[in-house]
Amino acid sequence: MANERDAADLRMDPASLYREETFTDRRLGVIRVLTPVTKDGLADASRRVLYVGEAQLLTQVGALPLTFEIEAGSLGEATEKFAAGAKVAVERAVRELQEMRRGFAHHHSGPCAPWSGRARRTARGRPDQTAVDAPDPP
């Protein structure tokens, strides 16, 4: 059950509202333009407009969404800087995937317990078709 503190955390901040517009070339990606507004929905000139790029990186397991902020003063400038922002986001995603893969490999290396789920091997290194792994321990 939610307590009063949890309910307070769910309130929107009226001083941090933005109107969102989406622009796309229907080929490469999306630019979201976040225009700051007052609690009455009027443009708030005291805060800057934000430009957020979105694209997808195709991987062996499916599309990985990429989101990145674009430092720009206009939509035109944001479209010009989109490719550079997407490149940085792809490089960051590839680095994170490599780190995850290394962490997974490190975590799953070492001696193989009979219940580890790894395939047993014969003396010649082939998978042992007759072995049945024990269930995972509780």
Q: How do residues 96-117 score in pLDDT, each as one tens digit? A: 888 888 877 666 555 554 544 4
Q: Is residue 40 part of a domain?
A: yes
Q: Is residue 115 part of a domain?
A: no
Structural domain for 40, as ranges: 4-92
Q: Which residues contact 108 (CB under 8 A, 6 or more apart)?
A: none
**Contact of 72 with 81, CB cutoff 8 Å:** yes
Let me know if residue 132 belongs to a domain. no
Cα distance between the two ends of the chain: 30
Chain mean pLDDT for the chain: 81
Residue 134 belongs to a domain: no
Cβ–Cβ < 8 Å for 71, 88: no
Q: Work out how many domains the chain is built from and give that number.
A: 1
Residue at 64 is within a domain: yes
pTM, entire model:
0.66
Is residue 118 in a domain?
Answer: no
Q: Is residue 30 part of a domain?
A: yes
Q: Is it the case that residue 25 has pLDDT exceeding 60?
A: yes
Q: Is the pLDDT of residue 121 over 90?
A: no
